[in-house]
């Protein structure tokens, strides 16, 4: 029997709570394939909603979808030095086709920069061919040793944008434009109060000149890198000798970007909004926004169900009606564990007064209203829930942001005792960054976009600070 | 410079014509990955349209999407004997993760029956859990030696439905229901006059009890198997020991189906409708339905473009306007090679009379009309083109159907001299089927749904005929 007693409290054991929510809400299942997960229908429906919103946005901005091969021959992976060093240790190698040993082994793509470059080299000839704004929805493979549903998996569903431009300015603009698309999407649809900024050189994507990152903070104060946008400059286009005739009729290497988000975002939703009763989904991304629960299916209740279903359909509000013969209590718990934003309880007694009860998932507050007003109330409530989830998450996050850390001792105290992110002045040297990681277990998150100017000395070495940068524990 | 002179005539060299069309229309590109193709934006947009129509239909019928792992451990592949014999010789094997040799090698899925069964075993317990109507959009890998764009590729984009049912009747119904979805889709959207029927035992899917097939006939009379729906009975569910408590409270193995279509359908569109000027796309699946070509961009022409664009947008008719500085002739050829169903030519002189010219791609007929009537004409023309493509293809196909073949000599004459399909009486023995394949190079296509009753003796052995069956050359 499924009830919320199966869920460990998130304040008792957050990791166990996370898995309990995922399995009780039927989001994923383990498989016989170690390190890979099965994304079950309810989990996949969330991903389909994410895809649909982002794909539309990408296309509005002029991007088109393509499909590249899933394999990368070893020699192709080896062309860009930093890139291969970053990825070769964690790829899956195909060595045989049927019973035949391959002449050259191939890896399953861990990301597709080299495949896109290989293609771009053939199709880019003139500035007239630029920009090329390509995107791909696909699965990638990274041979992780430790895996965790949605957060770290050997197979990852994602999208990867790869664009080529005639000028540095335009490519940098694209990097930031798509970065902003991610930020807006995560704020407005996933209700995640993300922190945005630039990665340190050490934490950059293998091969990138600049990496911009979306950093989400989970309920337990741990960071989740939740999307990145990279500016490559001419690094790959030189390595792959991709050239175009520019407006001055001279050969030039184009300027490149790539950007991606993954199913990891579903992990962020769970760990930001979920509670001890299960999943809590922001209405703007929930596959099912309303769950109708009849307490007892009398004729009057049936008539009311029909009335509400018609109203929801007419307003494009997705719903399910739980007609099962389970107890009302069980159905309520089930609706909570699945995180449906609103539950409507319809009982014969309330109906005598023309009333039904709306229960909002975020606050679990009950609102008894006349059924005539139900659809209007649901529409406003969905908007309210979306905002409330964001606000609640933002308040919690702010309570775990330490933006005034001046000394290494303070930073150490945070690392040991206070979950969250600490903003410190930094000289920019990797040695200092490494020391914080090795001694305190904190990794640099990002140099935040809005307050990146140092106002003091480096928290580690005491030399002049160059930037402010967040540190935090990470998934 | 791109013009139609790059395209070999389809009557001179059909294979070369096919590749010329594909590359001139920018549908695919080769890559450094042998046997894999890059699906370029225009080709992928056709696939996106196919996905969107089918996915909607699947969901209307109650199916939900999931994502299974892409790898299959060898031991899991080995569970169903017929299945592994069919697929093991043509899979890609992953042997290493990073630098580590795997304990057990895994193949990249060539199809996912065993992965679905592995999952179903865990989630099916009672008749209440059934039916399970799952579908997956993904890439599969089959290590083909000879490849051909869209038709035979090492990587294949497809959808695979996998369903489980409490009764044989229901599973058989599902097999036929989805088969009908494919048939209707290919007829109504792709304008393919397909022949539908059952595969012989020899040609069945590895592990299936019954395989239903959609057989399309290409311009050159060669068959393309263009979608299949399989009934598995309890073959896999016994091998995997999947059991449920039925309504009589007894343990029973559920009944299974699977069904799939691939990007191969794009190959069928090209080889059915294309001509010596390039691709011809049925309006119901064309990513771009109308191409506006200004002969010269005067103020009046610009105004007219705006007027037409507004009308097309208001009617949800996709279009592009070719503003490039290429010659009108070049633009016309480009619009033809891309197979846009309708081209609108706007010239200053015609406009003086308020007229524009519509050119339909299927017949290349020109129709001069008042611009006021353009949108109405385009709407009816699109419907007309869709029907005309089907009718033309059907007439051609019928001219290559030999439904009255009584003797082996007649069959031999067809095999040697007449492209197309021959319908023969067959005793049902594989020896006779093999003889036709070995001696005449024809493979059995299907026992057609509508006229499967034998009316004479087997065309090979002369014994009593059991069924009528089509034979033909195949891709």
pLDDT of residue A450: 76
DSSP characters for B39-93? E-HHHHHHHHHHHHHHHHHHHHTT-EE-B--SEEEHHHHTSSHHHHHHHGGG-EE
List the 129-168 stretch of B: residues with Cβ below 8 A of A: 134, 138-139, 141, 143, 154-155, 157
**Cross-strand bridge partners of residue B368:** B357
C-beta of residue B274 within 8 angstroms of C-beta of residue B282? no
Whether B433 contacts chain A with CB within 8 A: no
Cis peptide before B131 (omega within 30 of 0): yes
Tally of helices (H runs) and strands (E runs) in chain B = 14, 24
- Span B402-472: which CATH code? 3.30.110.30
Q: So what's the ipTM on this one?
A: 0.95
List the 35-74 stretch of B: residues with Cβ below 8 A of A: 36-41, 44-45, 47-48, 64-73
CATH superfamily for domain B4-273: Bira Bifunctional Protein; Domain 2 (3.30.930.10)
- CA dihedral (B334, B335, B339, B343) in degrees, to 10, reads -170
Q: What is the pLDDT of residues A320-374, one digit of tens each?
A: 999 998 999 999 999 999 999 999 999 999 999 999 999 999 999 999 999 999 9
Name the percent of chain A lying above pLDDT 70. Answer: 99
- pLDDT > 70? residue B255: yes
- pLDDT > 80? residue B328: yes
Q: Which of B76, B96, B155 sits opposite A69 (nearest CB)?
A: B155
pLDDT of residue A418: 96
Using an 8 Å CB-CB cutoff, list chain A residues near B119.
Answer: 29, 31, 38
Residue A98 and residue B76: Cβ atoms within 8 Å? no
The residue of chain B with its CA nearest to that of A143 is B97
CATH topology of domain A401-472: Translation Initiation Factor IF3 (3.30.110)
What's the DSSP call for residue A262? E
What is the value of pTM for the model shown?
0.96
* A4 confidence band (pLDDT: 50, 70, 90): low
DSSP characters for A409-449? HHHHHHHHH--SEEEEEE-S-HHHHHHHHHHH--EE--EES
- Could you tell me how many CB contacts below 8 A there are between chain A and chain B? 150
Residue B108 and residue A89: Cβ atoms within 8 Å? no
Tokens of B313: 């947008």
Using an 8 Å CB-CB cutoff, list chain B residues near A134.
Answer: 41
Angstrom distance (rounded) from CA A47 to CA A159: 11
Q: What is the pLDDT of residues B157-206, one digit of tens each?
A: 999 999 999 999 999 999 999 999 999 999 999 999 999 999 999 999 98
Residue A41 and residue B65: Cβ atoms within 8 Å? yes
CA distances from B70 to A254, A301, B36, B137, B383 (A): 34, 46, 17, 12, 40
The predicted model gives B133-155 an average pLDDT of 95
* A5 confidence band (pLDDT: 50, 70, 90): low
Q: What is the pLDDT of residues B378-428, one digit of tens each?
A: 999 999 999 999 999 999 999 999 998 999 999 999 999 999 999 999 999
- pLDDT > 70? residue A96: yes
In this structure, what are the phi and psi dihedrals at residue B139, rounded to the nearest 5 degrees? -110, 135
* Mean pLDDT of the residues in chain B: 96
Q: Which of B39, B89, B157 sits opposite A98 (nearest CB)?
A: B89
Angle, vertex CA A416, rays to CA A414 and CA A420, nearest 5: 45
Residue A450, burial from CB neighbour count under 10 angstroms (0-12, 13-18, 19+): exposed
Angstrom distance (rounded) from CA A5 to CA B81: 43
Q: Which of A45, A96, A139 sits opposite B93 (nearest CB)?
A: A96
Angle, vertex CA A382, rays to CA A381 and CA A386, nearest 5: 115
Name the percent of chain B lying above pLDDT 90. Answer: 92
Using an 8 Å CB-CB cutoff, list chain B residues near A97.
Answer: 90-93, 143, 154
Using an 8 Å CB-CB cutoff, list chain A residues near B65.
Answer: 41, 44-45, 48
Residue A96 and residue B92: Cβ atoms within 8 Å? yes
Q: Which of B29, B93, B122 sits opposite A94 (nearest CB)?
A: B93
pLDDT of residue B1: 39
Angle, vertex CA B219, rays to CA B213 and CA B220, nearest 5: 95
Report the SS3 class of residue A284.
Answer: coil
What's the DSSP call for residue B278? B
DSSP characters for B415-438? HHH--SEEEEEE-S-HHHHHHIII
Q: Is the dihedral of CA B11, B15, B17, B21 positive or negative?
A: positive
Angstrom distance (rounded) from CA A61 to CA B464: 66
pLDDT of residue A2: 46
Name the percent of chain A lying above pLDDT 90. Answer: 92
Q: Delimit the domains of chain B by residue range.
A: 4-273, 290-397, 402-472
The predicted model gives B221-233 an average pLDDT of 97
Whether A33 contacts chain B with CB within 8 A: yes
pLDDT of residue A42: 98
Which stretch of DSSP H or E encloses residue A306? helix A299-314
Architecture field, domain B290-397: 3-Layer(aba) Sandwich (3.40)
Residue A94 and residue B92: Cβ atoms within 8 Å? yes
Angstrom distance (rounded) from CA B202 to CA A398: 67
In this structure, what are the phi and psi dihedrals at residue B158, rounded to the nearest 5 degrees? -155, 180
CA distances from B51 to A354, B44, B45, B316, B424 (A): 44, 10, 10, 19, 36
Whether A354 contacts chain B with CB within 8 A: no
Topology alike, domains B4-273 and B290-397:
no
Whether B88 contacts chain A with CB within 8 A: yes
Report the SS3 class of residue A128.
Answer: helix
Min Cα separation B227/chain A (Å): 21
How do strand B447-448 and strand A255-262 relate by DSSP bridges? unpaired
Report the SS3 class of residue B320.
Answer: strand
């Amino acid at each position: 029997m499924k009830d919320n007693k199966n869920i460990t409290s998130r304040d008792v054991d957050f990791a166990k709570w996370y898995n309990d929510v995922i399995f009780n809400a039927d989001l994923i299942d383990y498989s016989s394939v170690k390190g890979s997960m099965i994304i079950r229908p309810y989990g996949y429906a969330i991903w389909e909603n994410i895809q649909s919103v982002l794909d539309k946005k990408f296309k509005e901005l002029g991007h088109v979808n393509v499909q590249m091969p899933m394999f990368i021959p070893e020699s192709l992976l080896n062309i860009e030095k930093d890139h291969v060093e970053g990825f070769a240790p964690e790829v899956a190698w195909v060595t045989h086709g049927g019973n035949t040993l391959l002449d050259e082994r191939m890896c399953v793509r861990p990301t597709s920069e080299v495949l896109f470059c290989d293609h771009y080299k053939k199709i880019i000839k003139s500035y007239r061919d630029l920009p090329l704004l390509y995107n791909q929805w696909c699965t990638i493979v990274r041979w992780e040793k430790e895996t965790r549903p949605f957060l770290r998996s050997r197979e990852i569903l994602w999208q990867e944008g790869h664009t080529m431009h005639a000028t540095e300015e335009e490519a940098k603009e694209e990097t930031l434009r798509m970065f902003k698309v991610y930020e807006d999407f995560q704020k407005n649809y996933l209700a995640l109060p993300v922190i945005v900024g630039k990665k340190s050189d050490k934490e950059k994507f293998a091969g990138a000149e600049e990496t911009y990152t979306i950093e989400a903070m989970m309920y337990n104060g741990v960071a989740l890198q939740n999307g990145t946008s990279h500016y490559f400059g001419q690094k790959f286009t030189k390595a792959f000798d991709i050239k175009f005739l520019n407006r001055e009729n001279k050969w030039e290497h184009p300027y490149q970007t790539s950007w991606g988000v993954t199913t990891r975002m579903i992990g962020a939703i769970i760990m930001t909004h979920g509670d001890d009763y299960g999943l809590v989904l922001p209405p703007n991304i929930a596959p099912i926004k309303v769950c109708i629960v009849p307490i007892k299916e009398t004729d009057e209740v049936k008539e009311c169900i029909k009335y509400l279903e018609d109203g929801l359909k007419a307003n494009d509000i997705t719903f399910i009606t739980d007609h099962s013969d389970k107890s009302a209590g069980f159905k309520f718990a089930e609706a909570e564990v699945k995180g449906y934003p609103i539950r409507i309880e319809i009982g014969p007694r309330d109906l005598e007064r023309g009333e039904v009860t709306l229960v909002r998932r975020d606050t679990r507050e009950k609102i008894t209203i006349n059924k005539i007003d139900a659809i209007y109330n649901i529409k406003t409530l969905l908007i309210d829930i979306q905002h409330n989830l964001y606000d609640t998450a933002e308040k919690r996050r702010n309570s775990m942001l330490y933006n005034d850390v001046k000394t290494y001792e303070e930073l150490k105290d945070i690392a040991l005792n206070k979950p969250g992110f600490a903003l410190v002045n930094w000289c920019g040297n990797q040695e200092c960054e490494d020391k914080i990681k090795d001694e305190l277990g904190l990794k640099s998150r990002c140099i935040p976009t809005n307050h990146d100017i140092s106002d003091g000395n480096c928290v580690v070495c005491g030399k002049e600070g160059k930037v402010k940068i967040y540190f935090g524990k990470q998934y």
